[in-house]
Amino acid sequence: MPRDTLEGRRMNGAKILLKALQEQGVEVVFGYPGGAVLPIYDEIFKQNQVRHILVRHEQGAVHAAEGYARSTGKVGVVLVTSGPGATNAVTGLTDALMDSVPVVCLTGQVPTHLIGNDAFQEADTVGITRPCTKHNYLVKDANKLAKIVHEAFYVARSGRPGPVVVDLPKDVVMEIGAYSTAPRGIKRQQHKTYRPAHSPDPASIEAAVDLMINADKPLFYTGGGVINAGPAAANTLRQLVKETGFPITSTLMGLGSYPASGKNWLGMVGMHGTYESNWAMHDCDVMINIGARFDDRVTGNLKHFSPNSHKIHVDIDSSSVNKNVIVDVPIIGDAGVALSAILKLWKERKAQRKAPSKTKALKAWWMDIEKWKSRDCLAFRQGKKTIKPQYAIQRLFELTKKRKTFITTEVGQHQMWAAQFYRFDKPNRWMTSGGLGTMGYGLPAAIGVQLGNPDGLVIDIAGEASILMNIQELSTAVQYRLPVKLFIINNQYMGMVRQWQELLHGGRYSESYTDSLPDFVKLADAYGMAGLRVTDPAKVDDTIKEMMAIDGPVIVDVCVDQKENCFPMIPSGAPHNEMLLGPDDDANRTVSEEGMVLV
Amino acid sequence: MSSNIYEGAVPVSVLKDTDVYRHTIAVLVDNEAGVLARVVGLFSGRGYNIESLTVSVVDDDVQLSRINLVTSGTRQIVEQIKAQLCRLVPVHTVKDLTDEGPSVGRELALIKVSGTGDNRVEALRIGDIFRCNVVDSTTDSFVFEVVGTSEKIDAFINLMKPLGLAEVSRTGVAAIARGSSGMEDKASPKPKAKKTVAKKVTKAKAKTSPKRKSAVKKAPSKRTKKR
Ligand SMILES: Cc1ncc(C[n+]2csc(CCOP(=O)(O)OP(=O)(O)O)c2C)c(N)n1
Ligand SMILES: [Mg+2]
């Protein structure tokens, strides 16, 4: 229907909602029905532009929307019913808030006249979700519904992206109201109060390039902000790294913005980052943080964090700046815009850096780095008997790297090994729960990724404990013929918990062994999908190839060494240069009382 | 646009301080349901202090409300608070009245004092000195209305304690900047960054990170979302 005839047209709230979703270009909605949203489901039934994917749990719906959003750059959309539907979505919303993922979550609500009466399936959804969303709305008038939905999409995707909840009382979706069309084009949307930052101040760019020109030991430290700024930002970053010749590391969330095969790549930074990255963070004299937020997984002990560096911090969210670490040059704006501005100025001024002393200094810095690299911190020994988890992921990478592969993960050791051993060369190919660390994220996220990228090879690198948290979504994958692959690194333990207990709690493995695990091959069969198991290191390759050859969802149960630990590791509270490199390093040496309190 | 370049991002030299200061912050918000809960939730969720908070509609036509809040924290915390407030979607403008030049703050309190004899006479005499209005009176009680700075009201309450203080009801601080420009006056000159005019509350123990020279010097402190 042409826009002009749509404006002001009268229809019921549910229809208004569907029209607004269509106008926002929504292709997929992840949802689960219930009493309060029945009129909306009725409207969904009557149209075929917006596709509804029926999940098996509302948490799964939000993670699926996250996977969809992060792999496509579009807003993920969720529809759930009131009460338990909304409360089940809370974990997903919090996850999306922590990792800055654009999601619009539509929740049903009891009719307005019953709100506050403890009505059946009533929950104070706007109250509950206020602290775990970027913004939320309670719609009280069908005439305002379209405008609010357009605004919700704008708020979710602009500035620092995040989840937005729109709570829809049942009477509002049933009453007649007037439709209002979306402001034309993303840029044209204006908000009375919300004005996200975009272009950074030129003076701050100049100050940053000043520091860079004079740096002896520079380091790029990039994060999810570069991914969120879109593929063009990642491209600019690559050019800037090439132009400057500076080394680069990234947070968990930023993997892929600079290629892992790139010459200047040091690997991931942080608690399970590489030896060379963490030492470079510690020793650098100019740190260029682009779209990362000095998270505690990255900084370790703040008192000892990169003690001698001047710090530049590019962030679109001014509240991220000077929150954990005080920086010298704050740059508030979009990472892509800031990167372009820095690159342009750098090119103009790079002649100033040509001084022999600077070239020499950078060379010396790279020699330091090579020395750290030679520790080969990710080394592991694959024997003949049991599969090492690192080996399984390394082989998975080698055998799938030529395909358009997307990796999601659950949370635990396997997640860290995936970050270390799966080498991403492109942005938007890596979906993991970073900020919240939500077990159960990976499978629904993979479903969302696959829907957004039908031609992609989507693999959830999972742990056997995490996967059980949203295992019901297998049914969703089968229903929609989504050929997602579950690559379960099965160590029968909550490995990450077991590792901490081994290193920090005297080997008392309290409740971290999972007894009575299901037989994952039979489980696959029960859901109507293929199941494979591998226990012999020599058969890992063949099993992966077999998995890839199956044109449908597959579970691969990779039975790995149960006692393997994830190294390097910076124990909580320790500084970067006191990293544990392997089982022979004594954790008690580095962990202080103070550190034990930390998560 | 230069008016909000350093939103929430003040250079090191200003942030180094570990002393705790009291700040009065004015926040203009859209007068929509739940906006106060957002502000209060931000403070409780992130563990910030609220010493006083007042809220009222200030412009009925455009549905604007003003929240005045008094908080205390280190430089870094106060900057964080302002940046977090700015981030809330229905917030128009955040203004640090303590930082941005002279301002006045006033509170109104209703104070009930009961007693007879000398105490009653003394209470009335002190009330007079503090320019209180007596807004209710019985044979054995007064309700005083006192207006002034929070310190003045504190002082009056302390004096009433031995005289039969029965009940206190305070409005919290309403504050406003001195001078001719309004809160959203875009033409107003940018306030200069002040080192610290805030009143020190207590001394924090922790020492900050090692000194380093700051690469950026200016720090306009007005945080307006308007461009
Ligand atoms: C919902 C949730 N509950 C608890 C935790 C704490 N936790 C972090 S890792 C982990 C163990 C994960 O075990 P598994 O999925 O088998 O992965 P592994 O570490 O063995 O690779 C737990 C319990 C969490 N991150 N999320
Ligand atoms: Mg496990």
The DSSP code sequence of A564-585 is ----SB--TT--TTS-B-STTS
What are A233-266's pLDDT values in tens digits? 999 999 999 999 999 999 999 999 999 999 999 9
Task: Give the tokens for residue A576.
Answer: 């970067």
DSSP string, A464-507: HHHHGGGGGGHHHHHHTT---EEEEEE-SB-HHHHHHHHHHSTT
For residues A536-546, b (16+ Cβ closer than 10 Å) or e, as one string? ebeebeebbee
| % chain B with pLDDT above 70 | 74
* Domain B2-101 class in CATH: alpha beta
Query: How far is ligand 1, taken at its centre, from the CA of residue A73, in Å?
Result: 28
| Ion ligand 2 contact residues with beta carbon within 5 A | A 463-465, 491, 495
Q: Cite the DSSP H helix spans in chain B.
A: 12-15, 35-45, 75-87, 118-129, 150-160
For residues B150-184, b (16+ Cβ closer than 10 Å) or e, as one string? bebbeebbebbeebbbeeeebebbbbbbeeeeebe
Range A84-98 average pLDDT: 98
CA distance A343 to A549: 44
* pLDDT given at position A369: 98
* pLDDT given at position A143: 98
* pLDDT given at position B199: 55
Task: Please confirm, yes or no, whether A174 is among the known catalytic residues.
Answer: no
* pLDDT given at position A3: 67
Those of residues 57-76 in B touching chain A at CB distance below 8 A are 76
Supply the DSSP symbol for A307: T
Q: Which of A98, A89, A60, A76 minimizes the C-alpha distance to A433?
A: A98
* pLDDT given at position B190: 33
Task: Give the tokens for residue A386.
Answer: 């049991």
Q: What are phi and psi of A2, to 5 degrees?
A: -65, 145
Kindly report, as residue ranges, where domains of CATH 3.30.70.260 are found in chain B.
2-101
Q: What is this structure's pTM? A: 0.93
- Nearest ligand (C-alpha, residue A461): 1
CA distance A432 to A137: 28
- Write down the residue that tokens 């549905």 correspond to: B63
Query: How far is ligand 2, taken at its centre, from the CA of residue A467, in Å?
Result: 9
Task: Give the tokens for residue B45.
Answer: 């969720």
Task: Give the tokens for residue A248.
Answer: 């680069």
Residue B12 has pLDDT above 70, yes or no: no
Q: Which of A339, A333, A337 minimizes the C-alpha distance to A244?
A: A339
C-alpha distances (whole Å) from B179 to each of B27, B158, B182, B189 are 18, 33, 8, 12
* pLDDT given at position A589: 65
CB-ligand 1 contact for A392 (6 Å cutoff) = no
Task: Please confirm, yes or no, whether A144 is among the known catalytic residues.
Answer: no
| Between A571 and A420, residue with greater pLDDT | A420
* pLDDT given at position A529: 98
Q: Which of A413, A524, A521, A531 minimizes the C-alpha distance to A466?
A: A413
Task: Please confirm, yes or no, whether A253 is among the known catalytic residues.
Answer: no
CB-ligand 1 contact for A494 (6 Å cutoff) = yes
* pLDDT given at position B135: 98
Distance from B60 to chain A by nearest Cα, in Å? 16
Chains A, B: CB pairs < 8 Å: 104
| Between A408 and A586, residue with greater pLDDT | A408
- Write down the residue that tokens 């954990």 correspond to: A324
C-alpha distances (whole Å) from B134 to each of B3, B137, B145, B170 are 47, 7, 6, 15
Range A275-284 average pLDDT: 97
What distance lies between CA A582 and its chain's CA centroid?
28
In the predicted model, what is the mean pLDDT of chain A?
96
Q: Say yes or no for a CB contact (<8 Å) between A321 and B9.
A: yes
CA distance A459 to A449: 10
| Between A591 and A435, residue with greater pLDDT | A435
For residue A131, what is the nearest residue in chain B, using CA coordinates?
A: B41
What are A350-379's pLDDT values in tens digits? 888 877 889 999 999 999 999 999 999 999
Q: What is the band of B192 on the pLDDT scale with cuts at 50, 70, 90? A: very low
Q: What is the band of A190 on the pLDDT scale with cuts at 50, 70, 90? A: confident
A502, amino acid identity: E
> A130: which chain B residues are within 8 Å (Cβ-Cβ)?
34, 37-38, 41
Q: Which long-range contacts (CB under 8 A, 24 or more apart) does A194-197 make?
A: A194/A135, A194/A155, A194/A158, A194/A159, A194/B89, A194/B90, A194/B225, A195/B225, A195/B226, A195/B227, A196/A158, A196/A159, A196/A160, A196/A316, A197/A159, A197/A316, A197/A317, A197/A318, A197/A332, A197/A333, A197/A334, A197/B4, A197/B7
Q: Say yes or no for a CB contact (<8 Å) between B12 and A328.
A: yes
HSE, side-chain direction, 13 A CA sphere, residue A238: 18
Distance from A306 to chain B by nearest Cα, in Å? 10
Q: Say yes or no for a CB contact (<8 Å) between B5 and A200.
A: yes
Q: Say yes or no for a CB contact (<8 Å) between B8 and A321.
A: yes
Q: Say yes or no for a CB contact (<8 Å) between A327 and B2.
A: no
* pLDDT given at position A97: 98
Residue A496 has pLDDT above 80, yes or no: yes
CA distance A563 to A103: 38
Is residue A163 reached through a cis peptide bond, with omega within 30 degrees of 0 on the bond before it? Answer: no
Task: Give the tokens for residue A16.
Answer: 């208004």
Task: Please confirm, yes or no, whether A217 is among the known catalytic residues.
Answer: no
Q: What is the band of B18 on the pLDDT scale with cuts at 50, 70, 90? A: confident
CA dihedral B25, B30, B36, B38 (to 10 degrees): -90
What distance lies between CA A130 and its chain's CA centroid?
21
Contact assessment for residue A495 and residue A412, using Cβ atoms and an 8 Å cutoff = yes
Range B80-96 average pLDDT: 95
In the predicted model, what is the mean pLDDT of chain B?
81
Catalytic residue among A15, A23, A43, A58: A58
Q: Let me know if domain B104-176 sits in CATH 3.30.70.1150.
A: yes
Instruction: For residue A23, give every residue at least 6 positions away whose Cβ sits within 8 Å of its Cβ, in sequence order, or none.
Output: A3, A6, A150, A181, A182
Residue A508 has pLDDT above 50, yes or no: yes
What are A19-54's pLDDT values in tens digits? 999 999 999 999 999 999 999 999 999 999 999 999
C-alpha distances (whole Å) from A37 to each of A5, A81, A138, A516 are 27, 6, 14, 38
* pLDDT given at position A52: 98
Task: Give the tokens for residue A388.
Answer: 């090492």
Q: What is the band of A2 on the pLDDT scale with cuts at 50, 70, 90? A: low
Residue B216 has pLDDT above 60, yes or no: no
Q: What is the band of B200 on the pLDDT scale with cuts at 50, 70, 90? A: low
Collapsed DSSP state (helix, strand, coil) of residue A146: helix
3-state SS record for A525-567: HHHCCEEEEECCHHHHHHHHHHHHHCCCCEEEEEEECCCCCCC
* pLDDT given at position A192: 85
Range A391-398 average pLDDT: 98
Kindly report, as residue ranges, where domains of CATH 3.30.70.1150 are found in chain B.
104-176
